[in-house]
Structure 1
Amino acid sequence: MKAFVVYESMHGNTEAIARAVAEGLAIGFEVTVADVRAMPVVGDTDLLVVGAPAHAFSVGPYRTRAVATWHGMAELRVREVGLREYLGCSPWLPQVRAAAFDTNLDKPSLPGSAARMADRRLRVLGCSMVAAAQSFHLVGITGPLVDGEFDRARRWGGTLADTMCPVLPM
């Protein structure tokens, strides 16, 4: 089985989570990990996992990424294409199972979620969601990840793999 993990990352935290999820998925999948800026073509895949940092309490539009680069919070290269644009031009994906995650501040009082927005967009594209949208937490706006989040992401990837490829009793 094939899995495709597509991520948007400004400071490397979301990329780290994407790679951890891919490690967990590797127990049952051949996994490809791709930066959204490459506009990767999903193609023949059994599972699509997408992830992005939360900007303005959702998947950030171009303007929020641009503001972050103007304020020196991110490299200039990240503002061109993000997950919002990628999903906005994706084809109909009715045979694809999917899951979404985000990275955001460890503050329960903050509204919104990039993962929930991505989840809704994937459903509109015809995907069948295999798990609830998942958030992984950061200590500050630019990181680092809260202790244990990398391991939790790896376990979540393993759970996704188990959901798609359950072990049959002997």
Structure 2
Amino acid sequence: MCETMFGNTGKIAAAIADGMADGADVTLTNVVDAPAELPATVDLLVVGGPTHAFSMSRVGTRRTAAERGGAFTDVPGGIREWLEALPPPKTRMSFAGFDTRVDMPLLPGAASRAATKLARKHGFDVLDPASFLVEGYEGPLVEGQLELARDWGHGLTEQLAG
């Protein structure tokens, strides 16, 4: 499941899903289409979003992104709101968070870390999060990030199988 304003996080999500597909049944969903409650058949929830202001996006940061050319579809609700409203899983379920962020050294905070912290509070078994890099606010993705995302997705299925 992902939130994407300029398409970069969506491309990463698709690459992660591709990497997972050889070892798992995968459904890729945009946050605006995500269910209010997760089916008990889900073993691993992978959630990603862009890093805005060193964390998960908010209505104001999504509005600013839309004004800069991003998609307006995600403005009302992103992964922050979805995760906050999500009831705790009824069965044991793992969580892996990822984000896209500007390729600048020493930037504090990441959407994936904030999402992972929230998932832990909800009772998920959390796996290490991952960040994927974009050039500038709108992107594009830094070269090689799609391959890294595929590898990370493949590694997630290996962790679950192991």
Give the alignment's TM-score, normalised by structure 1: 0.89
> Which of the pair is proportionally richer in strand?
1
- Give 2:9's match in structure 1, choosing from 11, 14, 18: 14
Equivalent pairs, count: 159
Q: CA deviation at 1:117?
A: 0.1
Q: CA deviation at 1:11?
A: 0.6
Equivalent position of 1:122 in the other structure: 119
Equivalent position of 2:82 in the other structure: 86
Equivalent position of 2:53 in the other structure: 56
Q: Is the 8 A contact 2:8 2:140 kept in 1?
A: yes
Give the alignment's TM-score, normalised by structure 2: 0.94
Q: CA deviation at 1:76?
A: 2.1
Q: CA deviation at 1:75?
A: 2.5
- Please tell me the root mean square deviation across aligned C-alpha atoms, in Å: 1.1
Aligned partners of 2:17 and 2:5: how far apart in 1? 19
Q: CA deviation at 1:32?
A: 0.3
Aligned partners of 2:80 and 2:102: how far apart in 1? 20
The Cα offsets for residues 148-169 of structure 1, whole Å up to 9 and x where unpaired, read as: 0000000000111111113xxx
Secondary structure of 1:85's aligned partner = helix
Q: Is the 8 A contact 2:120 2:126 kept in 1?
A: yes
- Give 1:97's match in structure 2, choosing from 94, 97, 111: 94
Q: Is the 8 A contact 2:83 2:118 kept in 1?
A: yes
Equivalent position of 1:3 in the other structure: none
Q: CA deviation at 1:67?
A: 2.0
Matches within 5 A, 1:143-162: 143-162=139-158
5+ long unaligned stretches in structure 1 = 1-5
Aligned partners of 2:154 and 2:65: how far apart in 1? 33
Q: Letter of the 1:117 partner, please give it.
A: A
Secondary structure of 2:143's aligned partner = coil
**Identity level (%):** 39
